[in-house]
């Protein structure tokens, strides 16, 4: 079983919460240092000591609360903002000259951290609410606001609202990206299922139809029914209606997916071992198919080797189906170090111009899904060259670096 690709996305908010954690600790230390440096000027220094002691304990004890949005509850935000407002309003009590000298408040710039927490948690509306309360507290504390006070209040108000708006935009972008990745994963799964259906069920139905028509009698009726089912199934595949179920919508499927993931992880060591592409292509060699390969092993990651071999098998199926059982085919394997190229060529009548587009319209997706779809998923390309009366050549290229992903 191929090792499943895992994409781990880090929330865009996580760096903001980390920055806020560091900001709260640093500004708490700054507030303490400012108070210590101005300690002798405070008439009631004990008020400042008591408040800053509470501030320091609260800041350090609540670090987990500002680690992420889930831990940062509304109740915590309310208490945190209350502490900031209390510190601002207690400043004139601790220093009666604070209003006249326009000095810093007891919490200083730590109060902005409370506003930023509101911004990151709830967006610009929450930021506007919190910053407005802090602005009102600063204006009350100053009594007669100066130009510097108004400037600082306006700066905090605008900055917090801007950060809140950026957070909302980031969340919306992250949700859009998650939805796009989900749609891409679902599309790839549908294409994979469509390839499997084409390479198995549709091929069998087509063979039953041909053999039944050739035998006649009751077998012809069976062939006709198989042909009808083939057309219906091709229509379903080409319309993109192959059903897929998300594990999040089905608990039982979710448990199964987790089990498969565990099995994949247990086999990761075996999956990492590269396989020789030649061993997968060797069974195709025969009287009608010639295989030319390098003398040294052509090593690829197991998923890439299997998908490339399946694409070669699909190309040979097309040769047998459209060029006839008597057509001769050649497989050429080339290892260029940074990429592997496999070429499948036949001496059939070739493909008339516009036939591939017509086949896709009829639901015959052999080239589109079984060949090009597989190579696209590997990060490679599939080029088809056909000249009427001179056969067809399919060139499959797989970049080695991408093939190992």
Q: Which of 8-12, 299-303, 352-356 has the highest mean pLDDT?
A: 299-303
Q: How many CB atoms lie within 10 A of CB 142?
A: 21
User: Which whole number is the average pLDDT over 26-52?
Assistant: 90
What is the structure's pLDDT at 191?
66
User: How high is the mean pLDDT of the chain?
Assistant: 78
First vs last C-alpha separation in the chain: 15
Residue 155 has pLDDT above 90, yes or no: no
Residue 126 phi/psi, 5° resolution? Answer: -65, -40
b/e per residue 276-315 (b: at least 16 CB within 10 A): ebbebbeebeeeebebebeeeebebbbbbbbbbbbbbbbb
- Stretch among 8-12, 177-181, 325-329 having the lowest mean pLDDT: 8-12
What is the structure's pLDDT at 32?
93
CA distance 61 to 76: 12
Q: Are 393 and 386 in contact (CB under 8 A)?
A: yes
Which of 130, 135, 132, 136 shows the shortest CA–CA distance to 117? 130
Output the CA–CA distances (angstroms, integers) from residue 267 to 1, 264, 280, 363, 402, in the order listed. 8, 5, 20, 37, 21
Residue 310 has pLDDT above 70, yes or no: yes
pLDDT in tens, 41-80: 788 889 989 999 999 999 999 999 998 888 999 999 999 9
Structure tokens at 307: 């998908």
State how beta strands 339-346 and 392-399 pair: antiparallel
Q: Are 334 and 340 in contact (CB under 8 A)?
A: yes
Model confidence at 377, in pLDDT bands (50, 70, 90)? Answer: confident
With a CB cutoff of 8 Å and minimum separation 6, the contacts of 170 are 12, 13
Answer whether 0.75 is exceeded by the pTM: no
- Stretch among 114-128, 337-351, 352-366 having the lowest mean pLDDT: 352-366
Looking at the chain, the whole-number percentage of residues with pLDDT higher than 90 is 27
What is the structure's pLDDT at 3?
39
Which has more pLDDT, 348 or 251?
A: 348
Q: Are 96 and 43 in contact (CB under 8 A)?
A: yes
With a CB cutoff of 8 Å and minimum separation 6, the contacts of 42 are 35, 48, 94, 95
Neighbour-count burial of 43, counting CB atoms closer than 10 A to its CB (0-12 exposed, 13-18 middle, 19+ buried): exposed
Beta bridge partners of 395: 343, 383
Residue 211 has pLDDT above 50, yes or no: yes
Describe the strand order of the beta sheet including 329-335 as a list of residue ranges: 289-292, 329-335, 339-346, 392-399, 381-386
- Stretch among 32-46, 237-251, 291-305, 369-383 having the lowest mean pLDDT: 237-251
Residue 166 has pLDDT above 50, yes or no: yes
CA distance 271 to 405: 11
DSSP structural state of residue 131: H
Residue 28 has pLDDT above 90, yes or no: yes
3-state secondary structure 298-363: CEECHHHHHHHHHHHHHHHHHHHHHHCCCCCEEEEEEECCCEEEEEEEECCCCCCCCHHHHHHHCC
- Stretch among 117-126, 202-211, 257-266 having the lowest mean pLDDT: 257-266
What is the structure's pLDDT at 398?
92
pLDDT in tens, 317-347: 888 877 777 788 999 999 998 999 999 999 8
Residue 289 has pLDDT above 50, yes or no: yes
What is the structure's pLDDT at 102?
64
What is the structure's pLDDT at 49?
92
Which has more pLDDT, 362 or 146?
A: 146
CA distance 309 to 362: 26
pLDDT in tens, 217-268: 767 777 677 666 666 665 555 555 444 444 444 444 344 334 444 544 444 4
Residue 83 has pLDDT above 60, yes or no: yes
């Amino acid at each position: 079983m191929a090792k499943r690709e895992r994409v781990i996305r880090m929330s865009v908010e996580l760096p903001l919460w980390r920055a806020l954690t560091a900001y709260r600790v640093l500004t708490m230390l700054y507030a303490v240092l400012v108070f210590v440096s101005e300690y002798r000027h405070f008439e009631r220094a004990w008020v400042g000591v008591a408040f800053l002691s509470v501030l320091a304990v609260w800041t350090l004890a609540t670090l987990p609360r500002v680690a992420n949005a889930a831990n940062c509850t509304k109740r915590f935000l309310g208490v945190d903002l209350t502490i900031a407002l209390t510190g601002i309003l207690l400043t004139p009590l601790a220093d009666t000259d604070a209003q006249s000298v326009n000095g810093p408040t007891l919490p200083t710039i730590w109060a902005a951290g409370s506003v930023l927490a509101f911004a990151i948690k709830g967006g610009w509306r929450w930021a506007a609410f919190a910053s407005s309360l802090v602005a009102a507290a600063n204006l009350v504390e100053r009594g007669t606001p100066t130009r510097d006070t108004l400037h600082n209040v306006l700066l905090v108000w605008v900055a917090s609202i801007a950060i809140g708006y950026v957070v909302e935009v980031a969340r919306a972008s992250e949700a859009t990206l998650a939805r796009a990745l989900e749609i891409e994963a679902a599309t790839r799964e549908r294409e994979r299922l469509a390839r499997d259906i084409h390479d198995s069920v549709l091929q069998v139905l087509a063979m039953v139809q041909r053999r039944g028509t050739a035998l006649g009698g009751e077998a012809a009726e069976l062939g006709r029914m198989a042909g009808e089912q083939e057309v219906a199934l091709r229509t379903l595949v080409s319309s993109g209606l192959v059903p897929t179920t998300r594990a999040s919508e089905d608990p039982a499927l979710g448990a199964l997916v987790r089990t498969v993931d565990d099995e994949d992880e247990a086999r990761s060591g075996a999956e990492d071992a590269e396989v020789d592409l030649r061993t997968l292509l060797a069974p195709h060699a025969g009287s009608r198919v010639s295989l030319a390969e390098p003398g040294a092993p052509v090593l690829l990651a197991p998923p890439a080797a299997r998908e490339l071999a399946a694409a070669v098998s699909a190309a040979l199926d097309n040769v047998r189906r459209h060029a006839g059982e008597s057509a001769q085919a050649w497989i050429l394997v080339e290892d260029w170090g940074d990429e592997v190229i496999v070429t499948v060529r036949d001496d059939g009548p070739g493909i008339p111009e516009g036939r591939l587009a017509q086949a896709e319209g009829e639901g015959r997706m052999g080239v589109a899904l079984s060949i090009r779809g597989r190579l696209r998923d590997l990060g490679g390309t599939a080029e088809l060259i056909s000249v009427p009366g001179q056969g067809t050549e399919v060139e499959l290229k797989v970049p080695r670096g991408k093939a190992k992903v």
